[in-house]
Amino acid sequence: MALIGQWVFVPLAVLLLILAFWEPARRRVLGCKGIQRLEKRLTLSERGYWAAFALILAAGVWVRCYRFTELPLGMNQDGTMAGVEAFCLLSGGTDQYGTSWPTYFEAWQFSQMSTLYSYLLIPFIKLLGLSKFSLRLPMLLMSLIALPLMWDAARRIAGKNYALAAMFLLALNPWHIVLSRWALEANMLPHVLLLAVDLLLAGMQKRWALYLSMVLFGLAPYAYGLAAVSVPFILLPAAVFLAARRKVKPLDLVICVAVFALVSAPYYVTMAINAFGLETMTLGRMTMPRFAESKRAGDLALGAENPYLDMVQKLESFLPMATGYYRAEDYNGVGWANTMYPFIAPAALFGVYKLCRDRRKLALQKSEAPLRDGGMLILIWMFAAMVNTAMVGGVVNRNNILYYPLILCAAYALWQMGRRLKTALAAMVVMVAIGFAGMCGIYFGDADYQFATGNYFLSGLQEALDETWDWDCDRYYLTTMDRSDGQKVMTAQVMFAHHIDYAMRAEEEELRGRDGEPNGWYFTERYVLQDFSDFEPDPMECAVYIVRQQEKALFDEADYLITDFGDFAAAYPRYWAE
């Protein structure tokens, strides 16, 4: 399938674009009698349109929900941390370090974390408990909502046929499918921006939607910190453009600025506190914290010795990945299908060109077609995504805001293709369907791919911790996995698995068992974060050892019961088991 997708479908996609948009070739194709008959049959009726809509939506829902809690294997460490922070906030109104309702989490201490996903998790954990299911559910729901949301945004820009093309590409897109199935806080940002842009489009006629869009744009930095840079690059050009077009009044702009500032100000104040070395501030129960250290500023191009050269290098490192030339990480893409099927990349690039050209033509004609304004918003969104990429480079999760406008551009090319040569569009649809089937085969059926993804997500660790929660022992020895951040990672993992909040972590309260009752133990006496590279276990000690597979050789099976859990194992002395 990889050979077909890359070496057959890519040149075929280019050929179809040429046949559809190069007028001499198009006329020649339409001159064929068989093609003429096929063109007539490929016209969708109203009933056919809604049948296609339902089929696309059903496929999108199925591929995101099927084996939802099972795949990907394991749990991402940042997702686990988000769950821990949400559980601590729910239990006592503070994060795991005792900070009351922070605007930004201290999280890993040397590296902080955005807050919005954890705040969204709180009602789900309240209703469903702390589990892999409740942790992943908000991301799944937002991803499912994004399907009709994309349709609605595209419909406002260029009508329902363009909307169907956009939803089709999104529903079967590998990046979006993978994103929907695991709980990384950064993956919430593109959904927030999609909703904000849809409301902004609606706000050209309905002022309440315009003001509500500012609330969403204001929340974007809390979804992922880089939005503090990229969102102004959406709002400022959009404000200038819409004001010049008289789509918004001066009073509307003032209200929009006020709403955005009110919602986003605590985040920007937090950034200012840490940039200028100010002291932690509070507003009621909300905390705008100062952090002792952070490596995130060093990740940005602005912190480089030559920021302009670094921006160019970061663009160069990511754009080939976004267009399918370089393969993304297994947890962001699916094998050869990558984040976006490689044969869709030519359509996306052509779509950018075609959208610019068509929008410019409407402007010269002084047309008031929605595409004139909506197309500009897509291009502004794309520009902001490029700025974001120039800041952080070739990491898909940090550049997620690029994919929605890129898919809209690819859909624009397909929609225009369908208007000019329906046969070419039908061929593209078949190619996407075949690619989707191949991608599903890898994602749901390829054990090597699943294992590779599980390696990133500590596959089996949560199961090992959960299974051993009530084992009769005095102590848990937890591997630090030979990682510099191993102690923080393992602390978050055990806090999630054993439902430990701030009060228990700070030893203000006893730990609790699975039944929720205090068990008489305190955190530091119960859990030992252990480097097993130089360790000799005592078979007479009443302890549980959670180790990596390569570390279980330390435990003689004559002395220990060893249970495998994916990439990890639990060892327990036979003396105490008997």
DSSP 497-538: HTT--HHHHTTSS--B-TTSSB-S--HHHHEEEE-GGG----
pLDDT class of 301 with cuts at 50, 70, 90: low
57-70 per-position pLDDT tens digit: 999 999 999 999 99
Which is more confidently placed, 398 or 220? 220
Residue 293 is predicted with a pLDDT of 76
- Quick check: 99 pLDDT over 90? yes
Which is more confidently placed, 20 or 324? 20
pLDDT class of 534 with cuts at 50, 70, 90: confident
Strand order in the sheet with 475-479: 527-530, 475-479, 543-548, 568-573, 560-565
**pLDDT, averaged across the chain:** 92
- In the DSSP assignment, the letter for residue 520 is S
Residue 317 is predicted with a pLDDT of 66
pLDDT class of 314 with cuts at 50, 70, 90: low
Q: Give strand pairing partners of 100.
A: 94
Return the SS3 of 369: coil
C-alpha closest to that of 82 among 224, 271, 190: 224
Mean pLDDT of 517-543: 93
424-467 per-position pLDDT tens digit: 999 999 999 999 999 999 999 999 999 999 989 999 999 999 99
Tally Cβ neighbours within 10 Å of residue 365.
Answer: 10
Residue 308 is predicted with a pLDDT of 57
Taking the alpha carbons of 468, 470, 472, 478 in that order, is the dihedral positive or negative? positive
Residue 302 is predicted with a pLDDT of 57
Residue 322 is predicted with a pLDDT of 64
Mean pLDDT of 29-34: 87
- Quick check: 307 pLDDT over 80? no
Tally Cβ neighbours within 10 Å of residue 12.
Answer: 16
Residue 503 is predicted with a pLDDT of 96
Which is more confidently placed, 269 or 389? 269
The first and second tokens of residue 537, run together, are 């276990």
Note whether 275 and 92 are within 8 A (CB).
Answer: no
- Quick check: 319 pLDDT over 70? no
- Quick check: 545 pLDDT over 90? yes
Backbone angles phi, psi at 567, to 5 degrees: -80, 0
Return the SS3 of 436: helix
Peptide bond into 148 cis (omega under 30): no
* The residue to which tokens 């022992």 are assigned: 473
Percent of the chain past pLDDT 70, that is, above it, reads 94
Residue 577 is predicted with a pLDDT of 83
Pairing of strands 568-573, 560-565: antiparallel
pLDDT class of 32 with cuts at 50, 70, 90: confident
Percent of the chain past pLDDT 90, that is, above it, reads 80
pLDDT class of 328 with cuts at 50, 70, 90: confident
Residue 485 is predicted with a pLDDT of 87
Peptide bond into 342 cis (omega under 30): no
Note whether 271 and 265 are within 8 A (CB).
Answer: no
Task: Among 123-132, 194-203, 316-325, 502-511, name the one with the lowest average pLDDT.
Answer: 316-325
pLDDT class of 228 with cuts at 50, 70, 90: very high
Which is more confidently placed, 295 or 127? 127
Which is more confidently placed, 171 or 110? 171
346-397 per-position pLDDT tens digit: 999 999 999 999 999 999 999 999 999 999 999 999 999 988 888 777 678 8
Mean pLDDT of 10-36: 93
Cα–Cα distance for residue pair 544/464, rounded to 1 Å: 10
Residue 330 is predicted with a pLDDT of 79
Which is more confidently placed, 320 or 551? 551
The first and second tokens of residue 358, run together, are 């068509």
- Quick check: 194 pLDDT over 80? yes
- Quick check: 206 pLDDT over 60? yes
Residue 295 is predicted with a pLDDT of 62
Residue 20 is predicted with a pLDDT of 96
pLDDT class of 298 with cuts at 50, 70, 90: low
148-190 per-position pLDDT tens digit: 999 999 999 999 999 999 999 999 999 999 999 999 999 999 9
458-501 per-position pLDDT tens digit: 999 999 999 999 899 999 999 999 888 899 999 999 999 999 99
Residue 484 is predicted with a pLDDT of 84
Task: Among 30-44, 196-210, 301-315, name the one with the lowest average pLDDT.
Answer: 301-315
